[in-house]
Amino acid sequence: MIHSSSPAASDCIATIVDELAHYLPQQAPLHTFVHHNTLHAFEHLTFDAAVLAAGELYGAEPYQSEAAFAKHLTSGRILSTDIDSVLREEESRSCERDWPPLVGQSLRDYRRTRLCHLFEVPWGPALAWQLRETKVLSELHPMVDASRQRVLRDWADRRFGALEPTRRMPRMLQDLWRTLEQAAPVPDEAGTRLIRRRDQLLAAGAADIDSRTQPLLIRLCAAFLDQGVALWSMPDRDRGFLAAVRVLYGQVAPLPEAWARGLADELVRQQRGNCSAEDVIEYGLVQLGVERPNWRDYLQVSLLALPGWAGMMRQFELRPDRAPVEPRPARLLDMLAVQMTFEWLAARHELKKLRGAAASFSGLPEVQPARPIHKQQQWVYEAFIMAQIAAIDLEELEQPKCAAALMEEARSFDELCRRRLLHLAYERHLRVVLLDGIAAHASTSHQQPPPCRLQAVFCIDDRECSTRRHLEESYPQARTYGFAGFFGVAMAWQGLGEVRSRPLCPVNLTPQHYVTERALHAAEESAYLETRRRRGKRSLVFGNASREMARGGLITAFLGVFSVAAMVGYCLFPRFAGGARRAVAKRKLREPMTRLLIQRTGEQRTAEGLWIGYSVPEMADIVFDALQAMKLTESFSEIVLVVGHGSSSVNNPHGSAYDCGATGGGRGGPNARAFAAMANHTEVRVALLRRGIVVPESTWFVGCYHNTCDDSMVYYDEDLMPDERIANLEEAKRAMATACALESHERCRRFVSAPATADASATMRHAQHRSMDLGQPRPECGHATNAYAIVGRRERSRGLFLDRRAFLVSYDPDNDCSGEILARLLGAVVPVGAGINLEYYFSFVDPHVYGCGSKLPHNITGLHGVMDGHSSDLRTGLPWQMVEIHEPVRLLTIVECEIPILVAVMAGSAEVSRLVMNGWLHVVVLSPTSSEMHEFVDGSFRRYEPSSRVLPTVTSSAEFYQNQIASLGCAATSASFGSDGSVAANLTGEEAPR
């Protein structure tokens, strides 16, 4: 019974792979880029433990580099008060170590000194070279300040007075080095980590088998997952990856490559033996000589050899509905089976070449970890430099106990420790800025804005933070609200002429409703679609022709020269060329007036089982929930804008990462339009009335769409508007136009290449330029400035300049005694906000492992991902150009409520409490009745004492940010309260008084 053990083993392999798959990147195909925590698989750990564990596993950086922190120290981004505070907290957390008072200063002082003096500790041969060839052992370190230098010189003079003056200092330093070296603790033997056979072979002098097998594997994965780039698709790929590979490579003709000679036979063997993927993997492990207890680890390192492709395979397996064009029967197990087959064949081949036919893998040497002696030398160097810099009495250091304590400190307070504390200090700085700002704002501003004439609901997105502020500043009669940008309408949306529907809702929801749009006049629609189809066919013929031989030859030879004109346009006049392109596309193409098919009358469902449209009670629920959560339940203005958002840019594979996160990487216009249509529905209004919300008949909801890249606005269904509201809408549009122009003005201050001008119309042009420029890798800022989330009444933050940092969620604690609404809001805001924030964090701290590096060499593959240049692993995460100006801090979430309510909410949601308890974000509770704040630290709430109650006060935000390129702190702007709105308005040059 040879096979008796194999079912259990196969089970075991399938389970192992299922578990290991969590460690692969979770990024979906690019067209639905959804921000998520890069280290989602580590959320059960605390943040600090997780970044270290993941750093170890992926070979990634946990925090910013020490060099980066050193720059923050010099630039004042981290202050010594931040470091003090962090060290104080650290001390209260951990029990005091044995630190003899003899050394002359307390442990905290010593550590403060160390954190303020970030010198590089050279490693191994570099250190040996420095000791031999530079003046490390004969001169004081350059970081030693003047007074300390005097102290040390005096001491050297006293101690070695017998020597001639020039030799005293070297003598002192050499003695110091020797003393410390003698006290150095013995490093532990580094545990050996399981590595792949490939690494062992490489270390033993064989060729890199990855360089042979990976290109082939990448080609096959790419061909299998391709969504329509190749003209000729992989045969038999609908039978699964493993089957398709067997068809292609299990033929008689072998590959000419030497390692792959046995491949055909092996695949035929698998085919004949009817081997499942699990069997193949197991066979591969056996062939590679991996022992059963090591299987999990071995499979883990194997999967992480090509994490991007493996992750994408997994995504296609788990979420076939998210495939850009068509799903594939993808399985991670299949890919791993092919990979293991290649790997063992290649490894055997190399082993045979290296050691002869009879050799086995167990004979290969383990790869040496870093030599312990190097570590010891590093500690000595660290203590040696610190003994010079810190106020340590060198005489006392000659006692073995003191030297040992110093050495122990050098060992335990290592680079990762320092970076962790520096990161905390870096975060604290930004936390203090906001909390002080809010405290000062609460205690100073008791102004009331002028009576309300316009209400506008925006997405909670940090980019709308500045749009809202500018709307309030330039039109103080406006009240703004923040609600997740799908406005509660979780739908599968199919626009006019679109081929398939796509979900427009947060990723953790699955839409149950399908909404589409129809033209008002069927004739117009068919004419429109027909023209588009004709042009589409033409561009299909001409657009692709250049890729083919015969048609391409004719077209390039006889018509090709004309594209020089297009090239000149795109390179030199992108805005003009983009405009011309759009004009040509729209020429003689009248977009028909459309209506949403929002109301369901019967019980119709789509083929996928989705309801077509919403019933009246469903619509009433959606509208009621949203209005109640925002406390937009009374004193309605004539116009209520519902603003969805998205972003348009060209030449940008990551375009969907700039769109609205609350709609799952889509554009929120249709959601806003649907919400407005629901809220204007007469029957819905009746239902609302029954539930206690009186929406006056004079109030009209208008759905609109804000393009955050070129700051344009689209207003939907204006023709349905009652005539007497048109004037109000025009006024609202003017206000929004001014706000958008100012928004572009504020955003452009962060771009080096934007014009430094006070004229908002010039920056508006620049923003349009960016959205249409093929050569622009940074179309807008995206979420790069995110750092805060504020859940509470807008009055608490109105008139507070937050530098586009905050997700602003409207919530009224008075309205929510039970915490039910808060639970719903936090259940969405915490995972989404933390997801965005943490993805930016990780892509910033390690742009090569967690991020996808520079955009410039990116190469779109299969319509689902990008590679770096030719045939690389799929790159996941955010490109460097997107995160460049980000400040990597965890999200600081301020919730305006009573503490017990928040505690109850956290207890009720496993996801929220996991993220908060494990420190993946900071939470601060703001009292609804006073400016008192409590920080959530280590499982309990602690009162926050503001360090300063002074807030810079300016008339308009422009006054504060003008000509500043770096990120800024908080400020109070008085224009939001109508004291002087003209300054802001004048910037646009539109509303100058006549």
Partner 1 sequence: MSDAWLHVVVSAIIALPVLCCFVLGVPSWFGARISERVVSTAVAWTFSLTTIAAAFALLALCLRGGAPIEVDLGVWFQVDHYEFRWRLLGDWLSLPFACFASLLTGLIAAFSRRYLHRELGFFRFYLLLALFGAGVQVVVLAGGLDLLFFGWELVGLTSALLIAFFHERPKPVEHGLRAFLTYRVCDIGLLAAAVYMHHFTGSAAFVVAAGESAQTFSGLVPPSVLMESLLVGGLLLWASMGKSAQAPLGGWLPRAMEGPTPSSAIFYGAISIHLGPYLLLRAAPILDVAPGVAASVAVVGGLTAVHATFVGRVQTDIKCVLAYASMTQVGLIFLEIGLGLRWLPLLHILGHAAVRSLEILRSPSLLQDYRHLEQAVGRQVVRSPFRFERLFPVALRPWFYRHALERGYFDTLLRDYLVGGFLRACRWLDRCDRWLTSVIVAGDQDQSKSDEVIR
Binding positions for partner 1, 217-256, rule CB under 8 A = 219-220, 222-223, 226, 228-232, 234-236, 247-249, 251, 253, 255-256
Amino acid code (one letter) for 214: Q
Q: Distance (Å, rounded) from C-alpha 982 to C-alpha 986?
A: 6
- Considering only residues 771 through 800, tell me which ones interact with partner 1, judged by CB under 8 A: 773-778
What is the DSSP-derived secondary structure letter of residue 893? E
> Which residue's CB is nearer to partner 1, number 567 or number 907?
567
Q: Pull the structure tokens for residue 488.
A: 């509660």
Asked if residue 709 binds partner 1 (CB under 8 A), the reply is: no
| Cα separation, 315 vs 320, whole angstroms | 8
Nearer to partner 1, 534 or 691 (CB): 534
Nearer to partner 1, 543 or 722 (CB): 543
Q: How far apart are the first and last CA of the chain?
A: 98
Q: How far apart are CA 679 and CA 702, in angstroms?
A: 9
Q: Give the separation between CA 59 and CA 54, rounded to whole angstroms.
A: 8
Q: Does 1 bind partner 1 (CB under 8 A)?
A: no
Classify burial at 541, counting beta carbons within 10 Å of its beta carbon; exposed 0-12, middle 13-18, buried 19 or more: exposed
Quote helix, strand, coil % in the chain, to nearest 5: 55, 10, 35
Among 130, 138, 444, 546, binds partner 1 (CB under 8 A): 546
Q: How many CB atoms lie within 10 A of CB 467?
A: 28
Of 530 and 938, which has the nearer Cβ to partner 1?
A: 530
Q: What is the DSSP letter of 663?
A: G
Q: Which of 88, 97, 533, 590 binds partner 1 (CB under 8 A)?
A: 533
Instruction: By CB under 8 A, tell whether 722 contacts partner 1.
Output: no
Could you tell me which of 599, 215, 155, 622 has the C-alpha nearest to residue 397?
155
The residue within the footprint of partner 1, chosen from 860, 899, 907, 965 (CB under 8 A), is: 860
555 binds partner 1 per the rule CB under 8 A: yes
- 605-624: contacts with partner 1 (CB under 8 A): none
262 in contact with partner 1 (CB under 8 A): no
Amino acid at 108: R
Q: Is 266 in the site for partner 1 (CB under 8 A)?
A: no
Q: Which stretch binds partner 1 (CB under 8 A): 49-57, 290-298, 607-615, 860-868?
A: 860-868
Cβ neighbours, 10 Å, residue 163: 15
Residue type, 790: I
Q: Which residues pair with 742 in a beta bridge?
A: none
Nearest distance, CB of residue 838 and partner 1, angstroms: 24
- Greatest alpha-carbon span in the chain: 107
3-state secondary structure 357-390: CCCCHHHCCCCCCCCHHHHHHHHHHHHHHHHHHC
Q: Which is nearer to partner 1, 536 or 692 (CB)?
A: 536
Contact call for residue 867 and partner 1 (CB under 8 A): yes
Binding of residue 345 to partner 1 (CB under 8 A): no
Least Å distance, CB 543 to partner 1, is 7
- Between CA 544 and CA 564 the distance in angstroms is 18
Would you state the structure tokens that stand for residue 516, as one six-digit string?
Answer: 């589409």
Q: Does 868 bind partner 1 (CB under 8 A)?
A: yes
Q: Which of 161, 191, 609, 869 binds partner 1 (CB under 8 A)?
A: 869
Q: Is 707 in the site for partner 1 (CB under 8 A)?
A: no
Site residues (CB under 8 A) for partner 1, limited to 739-768: 752-753
Output 149 or 563, the one with its CB closest to partner 1. 563
Question: Among 548, 591, 608, 938, which residue interacts with partner 1 (rule: CB under 8 A)?
Answer: 548
Query: In sequence order, what are the residues at sequence separation of 6 or more whose Cβ sits closer than 8 angstroms to the Cβ of residue 702?
Result: 639, 640, 641, 642, 676, 715, 716, 717, 718, 721, 729, 732
- Per-residue binding string, partner 1, 806-845, x by CB under 8 A, is ----------------------------------------
Q: Which is nearer to partner 1, 310 or 439 (CB)?
A: 310
- Helix ranges (DSSP H) in 886-969: 899-908, 910-917, 957-961
Nearest distance from residue 547's CB to partner 1, in Å?
Answer: 4
Task: Name the token pair of 477.
Answer: 């009669």
Distance between CA atoms of residues 342 and 305, nearest Å? 13
- Residue 74 beta carbon to partner 1: minimum distance, rounded to whole angstroms: 20
- Residue 526 binds partner 1, judged by CB under 8 A: no
| Phi-psi region at 27: left, alpha or beta (left = phi > 0; alpha = psi -120 to 50) | beta
- Of residues 30-69, which lie at the interface with partner 1 (CB under 8 A)? 30-31
Residue among 526, 544, 698, 948 that touches partner 1 (CB under 8 A) = 544
Element (H, E) at 831: helix 820-845
Q: Which is nearer to partner 1, 259 or 944 (CB)?
A: 259
Check residue 559 for interaction with partner 1 (CB under 8 A). Answer: yes
Q: Does 527 bind partner 1 (CB under 8 A)?
A: no
Residues 873-892 contacting partner 1, CB under 8 A: 881, 884
CB atoms within 10 A of CB 527: 15
Segment 644 to 673, residues that bind partner 1, using CB under 8 A: 650-653, 655
Binding footprint of partner 1, residue count (CB under 8 A): 94
Residues 478 to 517 in contact with partner 1, rule: CB under 8 A: 497-499
Question: How many CB atoms within 10 Å of residue 520?
Answer: 11
Q: How far is the CB of 219 from partner 1 (least distance, A)?
A: 6
User: Applying CB under 8 A, which part among 80-88, 461-469, 816-824, 852-860 lies near partner 1?
Assistant: 852-860
CA 649 – CA 647 distance, rounded (Å): 7
Interacting positions 284-343 with partner 1 (CB under 8 A): 324-326
Residue 276 makes contact with partner 1 by CB under 8 A:
no
